[in-house]
C-alpha cells in the first residue's frame, strides 16, 4: 500500500530519474497519441511515486545489517580423494 510517507520521503537520484523519464514519456504519448508511450510513462511514474523498481523497494540492494549470526561456525572435515 502506498502511504503519504512513502510518497514524500526517500527521494534519491534513481527516483528523480524515473519521474523525469515518466513525465517525458507522458508528454510524448500526448503529443503523438501513442498508447505504448503512455503505458511506459505509467510504469515509470508508478515506480517513481511508489519508490519501487524492478525488484521492489530496494529489492536489489545489499542488506546493510552488520549484525553477525548467532550460530556457531561448524568445523568441516574434508576427505581428499585421489584418482588413479
Question: pTM for the complete prediction?
Answer: 0.62
Cα 8 from chain centroid (whole Å): 17
Identify whether the C-beta of residue 26 lies closer than 8 Å to the C-beta of residue 41.
yes
Per-residue DSSP letter, 42: H
Using one digit for the tens of pLDDT, what is the confidence trace for 32-83?
Answer: 999 999 999 999 999 898 888 766 555 565 556 656 656 677 888 888 888 8
Indicate if the pLDDT at residue 8 is higher than 60.
yes
Amino acid at each position: 500500500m502506498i502511504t503519504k510517507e512513502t510518497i514524500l520521503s526517500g527521494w534519491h537520484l534513481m527516483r528523480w530519474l524515473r519521474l523525469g523519464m515518466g513525465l517525458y514519456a507522458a508528454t510524448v504519448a500526448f503529443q503523438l497519441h501513442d498508447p505504448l508511450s503512455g503505458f511506459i510513462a505509467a510504469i515509470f511514474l508508478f515506480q517513481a511515486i511508489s519508490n519501487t523498481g524492478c525488484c521492489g523497494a530496494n529489492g536489489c540492494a545489499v542488506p546493510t545489517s552488520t549484525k553477525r549470526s548467532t550460530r556457531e561456525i561448524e568445523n568441516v572435515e574434508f576427505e581428499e580423494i585421489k584418482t588413479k
